[in-house]
Structure 1
Amino acid sequence: MPTDLLFWLLVLPGIVVGAYAQSRIKYNVAKYSRTPALSGATGAQVARYLLDARGLEQVAVEATEGVLSDHYDPRSKTLRLSQSIYYTPSVAAIGIAAHEAGHAIQDADDYFALEMRNLLVPVVQLSAQIAPWIFIGGLMLDLPRMAWIGAILFGASTFFALITLPVEIDASRRALDQLVSHRIINDAKEIEGVRAVLRSAAWSYVAAAVSAIGSWVFYLILLFARGGRNRS
């Protein structure tokens, strides 16, 4: 099979799923950002309430720049919400804020998948910079061991994408459970709105995993094909 065709067969699914995920995120976040939360609580207020209810008063909640730049930083124990989430009393805002609070609760619970992902962060950051050069250099210089080191580093990024899936899905599950159990949302339409926002965000992580797997398999096939030619 031609290399170009193989590349697209393996990488295209991730691109398609990624495009679908982005369209769903934009649609649902835009739709439910215009839907007021019946409680009148902003994203920041919801995050603070859920953290305090879990005994996590030491976790700070801050506003940050950017669009959908919301994240939890386990190193500084800080939950950062984009300004449109931090200050807005909308269904989308409280859903996203609760999701990030879910990560802080995972951290407090020593959730294994989150701990594993956190350990991989420096490795993945390094591999993203050097893996392509090592892999390509190994192929061009006909140094199989060097190319395999590059492929293994690519594998770390693939594993990171895979382990991110259960982390994000669990955080969304915790978010919805906490919002309902604390009666922050109890209207059926609000619940469905939060679920739609969280579900669409999950698709972006599915896309990342599919893309990472496809790319890694392509690199491995190149290596095995090169090895087969060398033996012949």
Structure 2
Amino acid sequence: MFPFFYDPYFFLILIGMGLSALASMLVQSTFSRYSNVLSQSNLTGEQAAQAILADQAIHNVTVHAIAGNLTDNYNGQNKTLNLSEATFNQTSVAAIGVAAHEVGHAIQDAQNYVPMRLRARIVPVANLGASLSMPLILLGIFLGMNQMLINIGILAFAAVLVFQVVTLPVEFDASRRAIASLRNQNLLTETELSAVKKVLTAAAFTYIASALSTFLQLLRLVLLFSNRNND
């Protein structure tokens, strides 16, 4: 019988979905709350980013505005720091905190931060694993529960989890660098920095929730197919 018709471990998927939804709600609500708190410096996210880049003597990174809400990112390949509409021209402590976090990635890049380099190397493997894992598992099922194909599919999916785990220290360190830069340059007061920490902690929870969700999916696959194999 097709093993997904009866799945006693499906609750693991639901737990993962719940964690991800909770994390998304938390970051949205926290960012929204502190988007209404304007900084005393009256700096925009873009200005704060430029100030930190200049202080770190990083002159090969350009700052751009992009569409969307919380779509901020740093692209190490073309050295661009992309700030969303909710960040670029906004003077809230939330906007400045998110902008500083992305600059944290630029600083990591400039200083050859090892976890960031490792993550970049894992990206192709993780993308390949995400694309091939389920097709391999399904092929193994249709070929009469071919355990070798199923195991290869599970290992391919595990590559996604490895990528997400490696991502955690990269994100945590970028936030640490952001707080340090904002404090050292007196861009925000200590009270405002406390608010930024809450925003960045909420954002970090999304990465933790994503990794936990992927772990639970991987655990489900291992339990499901190891039990089938034992049967």
Q: Same fold (TM over 0.5)?
A: yes
**Equivalent position of 1:155 in the other structure:** 158
Q: Does 1:39 align with 2:21?
A: no
Gaps of 5+ in 1: none
**Equivalent position of 2:20 in the other structure:** 18
CA distance in 1, matches of 2:69, 2:85: 8
**Equivalent position of 2:110 in the other structure:** 108
* Runs of 4+ that moved beyond 6 A: none
Gaps of 5+ in 2: none
Helix, strand or coil for the counterpart of 2:74?
A: strand
State which of 222, 225, 231 in structure 2 corresponds to 1:223: 225
Two-structure CA RMSD over aligned residues (Å): 1.5
Deviation by residue 1:37-83 (Cα, 9 ceiling, x = unmatched): 11111111111111121111101111111211100111111111112
Measured after TM superposition, the shift of residue 29 of structure 1 is: 0.8
Helix, strand or coil for the counterpart of 2:109?
A: helix
Figure out how many residues of one structure are paired with residues of the other and give that number. Answer: 226
Measured after TM superposition, the shift of residue 15 of structure 1 is: 2.2
Q: How does 1:183-222 map to 2 (within 5 A)?
A: 183-188=186-191, 190-222=192-224
The one-letter amino acid paired with 2:229 is G
**Equivalent position of 1:88 in the other structure:** 90
Measured after TM superposition, the shift of residue 3 of structure 1 is: 5.3
Deviation by residue 1:141-160 (Cα, 9 ceiling, x = unmatched): 12222111111110000111
TM-score for both structures, normalised by structure 2:
0.93
Helix, strand or coil for the counterpart of 1:199?
A: helix
TM-score for both structures, normalised by structure 1:
0.92
Measured after TM superposition, the shift of residue 135 of structure 1 is: 1.3
The answer to whether the 8 Å contact 2:7/2:224 transfers is no
Identical-residue share of aligned pairs (%): 36
State which of 132, 135, 139 in structure 1 corresponds to 2:134: 132
Measured after TM superposition, the shift of residue 179 of structure 1 is: 0.5
CA distance in 2, matches of 1:5, 1:227: 15
The answer to whether the 8 Å contact 2:9/2:224 transfers is no
Measured after TM superposition, the shift of residue 17 of structure 1 is: 2.1
CA distance in 2, matches of 1:153, 1:23: 30
